[in-house]
Amino acid sequence: MRIPVVLISAGALALAACSTATPSVEPSIAASEAATPSASAAEPSPSAAVSFDGRIAFSSERDGNSEIYLATAEATDPVRLTDNPAQDAQPALSPDGSQVVFASDRSGNFQLYVVAVDGGEPALISDGSGSDGFPAWSPDGMRIAFASDRAGNADIYVMNADGTGIAQVTSDPTDDLSPAWSPDGSKIAFEADLAGVNWELYVTPVDGSDILRLTTDDGASDQAPVWSADGSQIAFSSDRDGNFEIYLMQADGSNVIRVTTDAADDVEPTFSPDGSQLALVSTRDGNEEVYLMDLDGTNVIRLTTDPADDGTPSWAS
């Protein structure tokens, strides 16, 4: 069983997963479902850059602990943006592709930091009043939505991109995670178990005034929503068909379409800037890798080729 990306325990946004000693910031993909990673010659040699448009930020443990990396079509190897023994995780590229906001426990508990893609020291933007994670840039680049346990359980908040002007969006007693902005900036989709069944997807105006449930599959966990560029669709991951797959639905929750069809876990979808592709994380080759594919699941491109876990892609122009 996959467990939530962030477990809320003892009032902390513990980015812990399963029984791994190292806090995992990726969705916990059951080890039993993944083949034993092989560091043998089976890994293809990354001798040429994979072709794709824009920039993709992701997290990886390839250098011993979770760091943030940036992949571009021009570069053969991803560029490492963080260098800290703490967990640096959940990167989100700004809409113009110039900055990455991410969560890190380098100060003790998870806080949000911003780093320029061309380097420099990450700047703290959290105010330290709770453990913060799941940052998501608003489409105009002016605000950041995130999850925080500062009020006792995980809720969705929004703030200005410099960390000022924090406003609470949700205030229910269950955990609300993984906020995603609609392209017009008016709504936020998120995952929660408000109905007391399991993780379901919800949507609300940014002021939190009208929370609507989008998914109704009570027997499964629906997680990690992300909006298409035209606002018509939401991609998400769900285990409703036995293992985690990527699905698309209309933004009102109707017309669910399954995108992936393999026995491994497929999670953490995000759209390409032009909306024609998805990036996602899958264990289909033995460990967590980032893949790109068309919206119908065809033309699969493997972006990462490292035996360590690679995850949480964010794609911008």
Total residues at interface with Ca ion (CB under 5 A): 16
- CA dist list (Å): 265 to 2, 149, 211, 255: 9, 28, 29, 22
Say which DSSP state 310 is in.
E
Q: Per rule CB under 5 A, is residue 88 in the interface with Ca ion?
A: yes
The region of 23-31, 111-119, 217-225, 237-245 touching Ca ion under the rule CB under 5 A is 237-245
Cα–Cα nearest to 308, from 290, 292, 294: 290
Binds Ca ion by CB under 5 A, chosen from 28, 248, 310, 312: 310
Q: Per rule CB under 5 A, is residue 176 in the interface with Ca ion?
A: yes
Cβ–Cβ < 8 Å for 205, 252: no
Closer by beta carbon to Ca ion, 72 or else 174: 174
The region of 17-25, 28-36, 83-91, 126-134 touching Ca ion under the rule CB under 5 A is 83-91
Binds Ca ion by CB under 5 A, chosen from 7, 15, 28, 67: 67
The region of 113-121, 166-174, 202-210, 273-281 touching Ca ion under the rule CB under 5 A is 166-174
Cα–Cα nearest to 187, from 166, 172, 164, 169: 169
**Smallest distance from the beta carbon of 153 to Ca ion, in angstroms?**
5
Q: Per rule CB under 5 A, is residue 238 in the interface with Ca ion?
A: no
**Smallest distance from the beta carbon of 317 to Ca ion, in angstroms?**
25
The region of 20-28, 60-68, 113-121, 137-145 touching Ca ion under the rule CB under 5 A is 60-68
Q: Per rule CB under 5 A, is residue 84 in the interface with Ca ion?
A: yes
- Number of other residues whose CB lies within 10 A of the CB of residue 240: 18
The torsion angle over the Cα atoms of residues 211, 212, 217 and 221, rounded to 10 degrees, is -30
Residue by residue, DSSP assigns 182-200 as -TTSSEEEEEE-TTSSS-E
Closer by beta carbon to Ca ion, 156 or else 316: 156
Q: Per rule CB under 5 A, is residue 149 in the interface with Ca ion?
A: no
Q: Per rule CB under 5 A, is residue 65 in the interface with Ca ion?
A: yes
Query: At 232, which amino acid appears?
Result: S
CA angle, 292 as apex, 21 and 268 as ends, to 5°?
40
Rounded to an integer, what distance in angstroms lies between the CA atom of residue 7 and that of residue 149?
Answer: 11
- Number of other residues whose CB lies within 10 A of the CB of residue 168: 14
Closer by beta carbon to Ca ion, 86 or else 116: 86
**Smallest distance from the beta carbon of 93 to Ca ion, in angstroms?**
18
Positive or negative: CA dihedral 236, 161, 183, 59:
negative
Closer by beta carbon to Ca ion, 144 or else 267: 267
Provide the binding-site residues for Ca ion, judged by CB under 5 A.
Answer: 65, 67, 84, 88, 153, 155, 172, 176, 243, 245, 262, 266, 287, 289, 306, 310
